[in-house]
Structure 1
Amino acid sequence: MPQAPNGPGLLIHAAGPLEPNTLAGILRNSANARAAVTPGTAIEVVVQGPGVRLLAADSPVGDAITHRQHLNVKILACANSLRSTGLDTKELTAGINTVPAAVAHLAERQWQGWAYVRP
């Protein structure tokens, strides 16, 4: 992933069982961050645990997911969590990517100097 002109990006971690309102709030946080950080700063929301179910194409927060993608906020699902919940990548909302293991992705981003937020 290319780095922002001003350096590493912002990683927002959504973990555990999530209610739709909780994930919607986390996605609002990402929109607020997009409006406040230096233009070009990379922002990722990584969803881990049973909350990945809310990333399915029929999600009650589908509009919020799509809106964040238009703001150039990457939404990533943990592949291990998808497997644990029985959700296939083909069932995800269009535009959502995966990382093999959220915990490893979080560590790598922190080693790269990214800011880490867990709302």
Structure 2
Amino acid sequence: MEQLLPALEQLQQTFARKVEAFADIVKVGRTHLQDAVPLTLGQEFSGYMTQVADAQSRLQQAMLRAMPVAQGGTAVGTGLNAPHGFAAGLRARAGRLHRPAVRARAQPLRAAGLA
């Protein structure tokens, strides 16, 4: 993600430049492999730009949802049988390996499927 998100941002900026550069170039639209109403090449590139922006947003939202982990809460989520500091240590180690860093779930019981 550290490389993908900046690359998507750069692609989006490139498409934005094309939207302006191609604003006056009219072309035949296509739909279902047939000719359709005309549009500008800039309009077409605005569609590409929006698709990239939407994908970037979905990836960022997915990352936010994937970062909270239930590890260290033991089987039912209470952490009762885990050594003291186990969950925090696990998150710290995972944080050194992955950016953005993982974080604890707000409700470990829910993460274990019990709440």
TM above 0.5: no
Larger helix proportion, structure 1 or 2?
2
TM-score by length of 2: 0.26
Q: Work out which of the two has the higher radius of gyration on C-alpha atoms and give 1 or 2.
A: 2
Larger strand proportion, structure 1 or 2?
1
Highest RCO, 1 vs 2 (Cα 8 Å, sep ≥ 6): 1
TM-score by length of 1: 0.25
